[in-house]
Amino acid sequence: ERKNADKPIPISTEITEIVSRNVPDLVTFYRIVVKANNESWVCDRRFSQFDFLLEELQKNIIDVPPLPPKTLFMHTAHEDLMRRKADLQILLERLLERPEIINHHSFISFLELEAHNQGVTPPVPKLLNMLGGLPLGVRDFLYFEEEGFLIIAFSEMSISARLDAYFVNKDFFWDKETEVTCPVGALAGFKINGGDIFSAWNFQLMWYRPFPVQTNILLWEPSLKMLVVGMDEGMIYFMRIPPESNYGKYEDFFEIQAHTARVMGLGVDIKKNVAYSVGEDEKFKIIDFNLEECIFEKTVGEYQLKQLKFDSANQRVFILNEEGEMYIFSVSGKVPILLKTLGTGSCGILRDIHINYSTALAYTCAMDGVISIMDIGIPGKEAYAKVIKVIQGEEKARCIALSVSSKEIITAHESGSVIFWNAILGQVASVFHPHNDSITKMIWDEKKKVLLTGSKDNSIKIWKIPDQWFISVSYTHLTLPTSDLVQISVVAV
């Protein structure tokens, strides 16, 4: 668990007076005296600032206490201002009852909590490094810590720009085969100079590979030094990164038109020399490296397939679709066998899955905001797989990860926000907003408590996550039914 989980920082607020200023017109401020961590300070806030705070909170948090009623005209009478002062005091007290609100970056800024939290580890994520100003939006990326290297898949996010580029890149019958003059997608390899992840980095571009279509997903197979790239129009590229080059160059291996629509999931089985893939064409396919061709194809269900996770140790494949279903296949034999079709509790597009194989728990996030925790069963018992917890979160979740040590689920969203969820209680622990556009990839480093995020805003950022939030929920004082305690003991690991 996070440090001082049973000793949250005490915070109290009191609106002590009403202050009027000419800035340049007459404006009313409510003076808030904040006390936290043996300090006290004053914040003067307008009613409109309270309104903006609640708007920001509502983007990530459900059932935010409402603002006192607005009026068409400015309050000027003393009794009206005093009534609003009392209502705002009640609002602050209600907000302070909610740990997920106290930990939200907007609330921290509203009360200036970070600036006055001296002597304690800053309870907000700290930006360690950033690779910004990239030529296109980030679709996916791979981080090689020991080698100090990043491989990034880029895509043009503007529809109009993509249409223009498709026309420019098109080969007409009177032309010879042309090079990509206006890339819609690209791969790039960056050498990281500057030491470990906590040092100041600078990035050196080592190689660049343009494509006339959008890239979508990356997969790295370390033992083969093989990079697999899934494209928007169904093509899959297999590339090698020679070990002697220190990731400084790439070599094309082969390419295959595996799908007729966007490639959404990839896996590699080095024992069989095959790759697994799924696409929005509803196909599950197996590609043989040696033959450089597809050796198996199956239509899975009636809906687009959105993600694939390969369990190499137990020879299983987990596939997600756009209607909230997960398929579990055994791939131990020559032909995949469907073991289980499991509804996740979501009715939306499943975007990502994290599997903790040591506990046989799978975590999924969906576009309708549903986070599902499932017991997928030990090998041979997949028929008993079941959903054990469903959390309604922020909509349009794109990525999911798990912090085992702090018992938190981490989700990243199209809004550019990252949310830490208390996995036991199913409540928001903290929220921050690292990007101005959709987050498309997230990597969690459990040992270092570092989060890497990539976004359509053309940047990758590296964040140090604090050891504690302003308020950490204590589990020891909860009164729960025995059945819930049994469930929680499973979810917590």
Name, in order, each residue with C-beta under 8 angstroms of 274's C-beta and a sequence gap of 6 or more: 268, 286, 287, 288, 289, 295
For residues 134-163, one letter each, b for 16 or more C-beta atoms within 10 angstroms of the residue's C-beta and e for the rest, the string is bebbbbbbbbeeeebbbbbbbbbbeeeebe
Q: Convert the pLDDT of each residue in 253-267 to its tens digit.
A: 999 999 999 999 999
SS3 366: strand
Count Cβ atoms below 10 Å from residue 337 Cβ, excluding itself: 10
Residue for token pair 């498709």: 166
Nearest one of 410, 373, 367 to 390, comparing CA atoms: 373
Instruction: Answer whether 235's CB lies under 8 Å from 264's CB.
Output: no
Count Cβ atoms below 10 Å from residue 205 Cβ, excluding itself: 9
Angle separating helix axes 47-58 and 78-95, nearest 10 degrees: 30
Torsion from C-alpha of 98, 104, 108, 114, nearest 10 degrees: 110
What is the reported pLDDT for 391?
Answer: 94
Instruction: Say if residue 175's pLDDT is above 80.
Output: no
Distance CA 270, CA 329 (A): 18
Percent of the chain with pLDDT over 70: 85
Instruction: Answer whether 411's CB lies under 8 Å from 418's CB.
Output: yes
66-80 mean pLDDT: 73
Instruction: Say if residue 383's pLDDT is above 80.
Output: yes
| Average pLDDT along the chain | 85
Bridge partner residues of 373 (DSSP):
363, 389
Instruction: Say if residue 124's pLDDT is above 60.
Output: yes
DSSP 8-class letter at 379: T
Residue 94 structure tokens: 């209600």
Query: Which amino acid belongs to residue 70?
Result: K
Percent of the chain with pLDDT over 90: 62
SS3 252: strand
Instruction: Answer whether 443's CB lies under 8 Å from 424's CB.
Output: no
Distance CA 340, CA 324 (A): 14
48-71 mean pLDDT: 87
Where does 6-98 have alpha helices with state H? 47-58, 78-95
Distance CA 424, CA 25 (A): 50
CA distances from 182 to 142, 167, 175, 178, 485 (A): 24, 9, 16, 11, 57
Say if strands 137-144 and 126-131 run parallel, antiparallel, or are unpaired: unpaired
For residues 19-32, one letter each, b for 16 or more C-beta atoms within 10 angstroms of the residue's C-beta and e for the rest, the string is eeeeeeeeebbbeb
Q: Name the least confident of 148-162, 349-363, 398-412, 464-478.
A: 464-478
Distance CA 219, CA 228 (A): 5
Surface-to-core class of residue 467, CB atoms within 10 Å of its CB (0-12 exposed, 13-18 middle, 19+ buried): middle
Predicted TM-score of the model (pTM): 0.78
In the structure, what pLDDT confidence band is assigned to residue 480 with cuts at 50, 70 and 90?
Answer: very low
In the structure, what pLDDT confidence band is assigned to residue 159 with cuts at 50, 70 and 90?
Answer: low
Residues counted in the chain: 493
